[in-house]
Amino acid sequence: MSNPQQLRYSKEHEWLSAVEDGVATIGITEYAANALGDVVYAQLPEVGDTVTAGETCGELESTKSVSDLYSPVTGEVTEANQDVVDDPSLVNSAPFEGGWLFKVRVAQEPEDLLSADEYTAFSGN
Amino acid sequence: MSTAPRLTALDALHRSLGATMTDFAGWDMPLRYASERDEHNAVRTRAGLFDLSHMGEITVTGPAAAAFLNFALVGNIGTVAVGRARYTMICAENGGILDDLIVYRLGETEYMVVANAGNAQIVLDALTARAEGFDAEVRDDRDAYALLAVQGPESPAILAAVTDADLDGLKYYAGLPGTVAGVPALIARTGYTGEDGFELFVAPEHAEQLWKALTEAGASRGLIPCGLSCRDTLRLEAGMPLYGHELTTALTPFDAGLGRVVKFEKEGDFVGRKALEAAAERAETAPPRKLVGLVAEGRRVPRAGFSVVAGGQVIGEVTSGAPSPTLGKPIAMAYVDAAHATPGAEGVGVDIRGSHEPYEVVALPFYKRQK
């Protein structure tokens, strides 16, 4: 598995895309998706919600467990991925693409995110 | 105390298949190989192959073997015919369940008791202590066997491809010695999935050869390797109890709705008889809580330990819960107050991290295969 170079990563195993027109896309990494197992339910933040870097903003439920979803960035949610709500298995099959979770209008650039290489070293994958 | 996990004879094979491993009762076992939902569905519709070598085998032999097991266990083992098996339990003197077991009668005076991995030592110790005064020998055979299971509707055809044994003549809860894929095996028609299937007890050094032969024979019939994650959802759908969840030392078989395994009519005394007679009467006249099924109306999944609620009051506790691949909804088993245990009971919910989610009370099992 490889972590896309153009993304940045949190130690809670979320990824953050490059900011375009002030908005960044957020998802969980393939490593996290594999660790969870089949995701069966995604509770995502709603459009208009304010999310704070490092704080929980939703949950992902898999066969064996439920995991809190952390936002890697502070800002206002502009979109939640309805495809994932309808078919949570997208998180497993395409965590870096169709399985993205939500978009945020970034209020504050995060400073402590990892590069792809740093995250690969951190997660061991 | 920290000890290194025990490895089954198939450990290297699991790793080569890319299994995600998990600690289970001190054993490093496959949790899943890829998608646990795909593994679950394979067992329901085609076939799955499991390594269950963590299960604990204890052999009981001797002229008084049957009389001893009748004393040590709650079932009537004396009536089990050679080549047949029985689901039963071992209880403490106070009636609490020490473990649920399958006992196979291998010969006139030879039985194999199969215990859960987490309880195997407890069962071994209890049997050894209770054997005093009986002309019977209790032998720890945990290391003598690897255990593979082939489960699912295609399993008879798959197994038939690698054995000459008479599988058509092998009924549910029967077991016979035979040769499978060239290795000696005890072939049992038992399982923990709610499907037809077989459990194969073999010497550990033969496990890999057997696994590979079954994999090859099953390839064209959709057999895939399966881990403990799907085993748990399969048994949950089938309404089968799991020790540590639905069964504990704090409960008698009657509390768990499994009083039928206790045979008061058998000859002689048995450990726990007095307490179990009282438990039977209590269950008849004033049952405290009952084990029921819950089906979610929403998508949030109940987990073991979550409170069952009605009218703002806690009326029970979830013992097992998971998203059900077959029903497409979260399901759970729970002990609930008798007043709320009737299927269709109104206003029952589960407290899922502070929010009361509505649940339907149903009779178990959730899933029953079409025969």
ipTM: 0.79
**Helix/strand/coil for B76:** coil
Nearest CA in chain A to B40: A63
Mean pLDDT of B301-309: 96
Q: State the pLDDT at residue B16.
A: 98
DSSP letter (8 states) at residue B254: T
Nearest CA in chain B to A93: B35
Q: Which candidate in A31, A36, A40 is best for mutational testing of the B interface (most B CBs within 10 A)? A: A40
Nearest to B239 by CA among B341, B87, B365: B365
Nearest to B323 by CA among A61, A95, A15: A61
pLDDT at B219 over 70: yes
Phi-psi category of B62—alpha, beta or left, where left has phi over 0 and alpha has psi -120 to 50?
left
Instruction: For residues B326 and B300, state if they share a domain.
Output: yes
pLDDT digits (tens, 9 = 90+) for B111-160: 999 999 999 999 999 999 999 999 999 999 999 999 999 999 999 999 99
Instruction: For residues B28 and B82, state if they share a domain.
Output: no
Mean pLDDT of A61-86: 94
Nearest to B150 by CA among B166, B169, B167: B167
Instruction: For residues B47 and B154, state if they share a domain.
Output: yes
DSSP letter (8 states) at residue B10: T
Q: State the pLDDT at residue A110.
A: 83
Q: State the pLDDT at residue A64.
A: 82
A61–B323 CB contact, under 8 Å: yes
Distance CA(B46)–CA(A70), nearest Å, equals: 39
DSSP letter (8 states) at residue B72: H
pLDDT at B1 over 70: no
Q: Which candidate in A63, A69, A90 is best for mutational testing of the B interface (most B CBs within 10 A)? A: A63
Parallel, antiparallel or unpaired: strands B223-225 and B47-51:
parallel
Domain span including residue A101: 8-110
Nearest to A48 by CA among A23, A76, A69, A28: A76
| A40 contact residues in B (CB cutoff 8 A) | 299, 301, 323, 330
CA distance A33 to chain B (A): 11
Instruction: For residues B165 and B228, state if they share a domain.
Output: yes
- How many A×B Cβ pairs under 8 Å? 39
Distance CA(A40)–CA(A62), nearest Å, equals: 5
pLDDT digits (tens, 9 = 90+) for B244-281: 999 999 999 999 999 999 999 998 899 999 999 999 99
pLDDT at B287 over 90: no
User: CB-CB: which of B32, B323, B353 is closest to A40?
Assistant: B323
Domain span including residue B186: 6-53+145-237
In CATH, what number is assigned to the domain containing residue B317?
Answer: 2.40.30.110
| Residue in the block written with tokens 């049997």 | B127
| B36 contact residues in A (CB cutoff 8 A) | 37-38, 63
What is the DSSP code string of B324-339?
Answer: ETTTTEEEEEEEEEGG
pLDDT at B217 over 80: yes
- Kindly state whether residue A105 falls inside one of the protein's structural domains: yes
Distance CA(A32)–CA(B104), nearest Å, equals: 43
- pTM, rounded to two decimals: 0.92
Q: State the pLDDT at residue A1.
A: 60
| B21 contact residues in A (CB cutoff 8 A) | none
B299–A40 CB contact, under 8 Å: yes
In CATH, what number is assigned to the domain containing residue A74?
Answer: 2.40.50.100
Q: Which two tokens stand for residue A14?
A: 């979320």
- Residue B2 banded pLDDT, cuts 50, 70, 90: low
Distance CA(B274)–CA(A46), nearest Å, equals: 59
pLDDT digits (tens, 9 = 90+) for A80-112: 999 999 999 999 999 999 999 999 999 988 888
